[in-house]
Structure 1
Amino acid sequence: MKLNDSKMLPLFLLKMKNMRDLLQAEESVMQELRDNVSSQEQQLVIATSTWGLGRHEKILGLPTDSESAMADRRSRIIAKLAGQGTVTKKLIQHVASSFTNGQVAVEEQPEAYRFDIRFLSSIGVPPNLDDLSAALEEIKPAHLAYDYIIIYRTWGELEDKTWGELESRTWDDILGGEL
């Protein structure tokens, strides 16, 4: 109980000399308990989970890779949760966007038993593409194939730039990143 909450106690208890000392001594223990409860609550939510990611992975049957970035691990968990149930175009789009942290379009080609995933909001190869492929293989029907359509910058888009303007950039920056 916080000292500020002491008004909840009867007045005769507050007048006791030892009561105030007792309340002060308990405050640090109570704060530690509140912090522990808050930390446990954060582990239940995938977006805020840190040391609890392993438990989510175990529950979902995913391999625990503590070497991977937390954002990548969270993406795998979210994709696994989203991938449960009937596979639809919307589901594939949701799973793909959760891995790339950007907009994607799913273009169906039912006559060819395939679909394309077009990355709309990123230029170049999106991060975490291997994990996205693994998630798609797990949720898509076995008879469907898919391709990624990745947007790259063309030389025509660079016509207004000089070599001097671009010399501090890497090829990845120029062809796949932002200018």
Structure 2
Amino acid sequence: MIEYLPRFYEDIREARAIIDSDSDAVSELNVAIGDVLDQFHVDRATWGLEIWERLVGLPSAAKYTIWDSMKNQSVLFDTLEFKTWDLIERSYTSSLDERRAAVKSRLRGTGTVTKDMLKSVCASYTGGTVDINEFASEYRVQIVFTDIAGVPINMDALQAVVRDIMPAHLEIEYVYRYLRWTELDGYAWSWDTLDGKSYTWDEFSEAIQ
């Protein structure tokens, strides 16, 4: 702040002390103002996400505890024996990015549902791309994940939002991406190579390069 005042204040010790103190207060105020302004943008919101969730009709993840999530998934306590608390938190709570994706999907999912809109909603939740196949005579829509191996994270939330924005008479089918035998042939892996990777069957089926 000293640069905004007449130069003679620079040589007055008391004036500099007051200015330095005021500068700290102004800096803190600017940070607080920036934090509030961030809440107006979904991609930067933190504590304001709860307000966004309420506006678009989503249950607030901030009030959805780890225990609620574990109860819904019927988690057995003996499966948690060797997990750290940090790992449990990551496994059974929604991250800020996931919550932001849910809000953006609801914001995008208004009006007439088009292929582009549906692709955008899926991308918001999974971070991947999809192909949309329509079977009008069968009243069926197929969502094909093209670049994510296995079942994408956040699928329960995605399915709920897609069902919410799609016409009620349409059946929605999800097709997941797994390793095909023809793709495996292209890798030219030997049995020794496969043994060295120590894949489980699930990991092997999702080993897409």
TM-score bracket for this pair, using the shorter chain length = 0.7 to 0.9
Between the aligned partners of 1:47 and 1:81, the Cα distance in structure 2 is 13
Between the aligned partners of 1:42 and 1:166, the Cα distance in structure 2 is 48
Query: 1:165 aligns to what?
Result: 193
After TM superposition, give the deviation of residue 162 of structure 1 in Å. 3.0
Between the aligned partners of 1:120 and 1:156, the Cα distance in structure 2 is 16
After TM superposition, give the deviation of residue 7 of structure 1 in Å. 3.1
* Alignment coverage as a number of residue pairs: 175
Between the aligned partners of 1:170 and 1:34, the Cα distance in structure 2 is 52
Tell me the TM-score normalized by structure 1: 0.86
Between the aligned partners of 2:95 and 2:202, the Cα distance in structure 1 is 21
Between the aligned partners of 1:16 and 1:155, the Cα distance in structure 2 is 80
Query: 1:121 aligns to what?
Result: 147
Which aligned pairs between 1:28-43 and structure 2 lie closer than 5 A? 28-43=24-39
Match of 1:25 among 1, 21, 24: 21
Tell me the TM-score normalized by structure 2: 0.75
After TM superposition, give the deviation of residue 119 of structure 1 in Å. 0.8
Q: Percent identity?
A: 33
Match of 2:175 among 149, 168, 173: 149
Matched, 1:140 2:166: yes
Q: Which runs of 5+ in 2 are unaligned?
A: 63-92
Displaced runs of 4 or more, over 4 A: 11-17
SS at match of 1:44: coil
Match of 1:8 among 4, 9, 18: 4
Relative to structure 1, the CA distance from residue 39 to residue 106 in structure 2 (aligned partners, 3 Å threshold; closer, same or farther) is same
